[in-house]
Chains A and B, each alone.
Chain A
């Protein structure tokens, strides 16, 4: 049991670091080459909630962005140009959220969330549902992330804009909010 606690603590530290709390400086609101990237995971079929999503830039060396999550919606307002896809995501379970779960979206080649950001803009990674695949007693269970049509890109973008406009730390990113509104107008 103590070993499990140590591992949980180490993982929690890793998650904290990955989440950008310990390393990545805030995005400069004046920075013009960065994009707004967003997506959605429905984790109702999973053992855990969704607490973090890690977006990976395929470069040498690779770079990772931790995307803020709320109610399945995740986004980042300062993603630089490059090829990206969701790498890992995770959350917690248990009475006090003491058990940490981490999932790999699929890093063996291109996965469904793959995008290439060539110029600043608004990029949608898609909406997916976590689907659990029971493998029986003697094999590790599997999961898949299946694309879903609802909520739509439009609905999710509306939520992103509402969140940014109401959040004291995000409302300063007026360029990103404007880009999001333009994209929303194009989706109507």
Chain B
């Protein structure tokens, strides 16, 4: 009974539309700069897994899915953002997380987020999800984005995570693929906006941080 309840909570915690309706907003790729709102900054980067996800490796089984929950999980990551550095449990998308990035894996993402959201406080990739299972790959947070007041778009790097067979991240690298990302940026949006390089940095929390 306890686990049933926990699973229900897990389901709720991962539903993007519930998030959107609650405290946190969900942010995905955009294709036009017109979609960048005031007081947001366009984050450009990439999430990579080594080894990559195999075809069918994510076992996401949902019955009725009118909210498109499965789409937010398959080949995507969920990165919880906050305006303050703090410890937030992997399944806590409520009070601790104020915005969620939902990038597609293995390709450059262009996602606008509110400028205050400079801390990635949790992150997951759903590996198995059903009423009977909830296995996730934990992206090792926290990280800090170097968002400055005048920034319109910044390149935060490629977050490459090496994993073992138990979906444990054994090593995390932040790689600088700025040249390739910048070329993609110009191809997609033209040359009217500058993409500043500001690689994400791992953040060490103090005991008092949440």
Give A residues with C-beta under 8 Å from B.
4, 7-8, 11, 14, 58, 60-62, 83, 85, 88, 90, 99-104, 107-111, 114, 116, 140
Contacts and interface: CB of A to CB of B under 8 A. Distances in A.
Contacts, number: 58
Binding site of A, secondary structure by majority: helix, strand, loop or mixed? mixed
A109 B168 contact: yes
The 7 closest A-B pairs by CB, nearest first: A109-B168, A110-B168, A110-B166, A83-B165, A102-B3, A107-B135, A60-B57
Interface residues of B, number: 24
B1 A99 contact: yes
Contacts of A110: 164, 166, 168
Contact of B1 (A14, A101, A104, A109): A101
Interface string B43-69: 000000000001011010000000000
B57 A7 contact: no
B177 interface: no
B90 A108 contact: yes
Given A7-B4, A102-B2, A110-B166, 14 more contacts: A11-B4, A60-B54, A61-B56, A61-B59, A62-B133, A88-B3, A101-B2, A102-B4, A103-B2, A104-B6, A107-B136, A108-B90, A108-B167, A110-B164
B169 A109 contact: yes
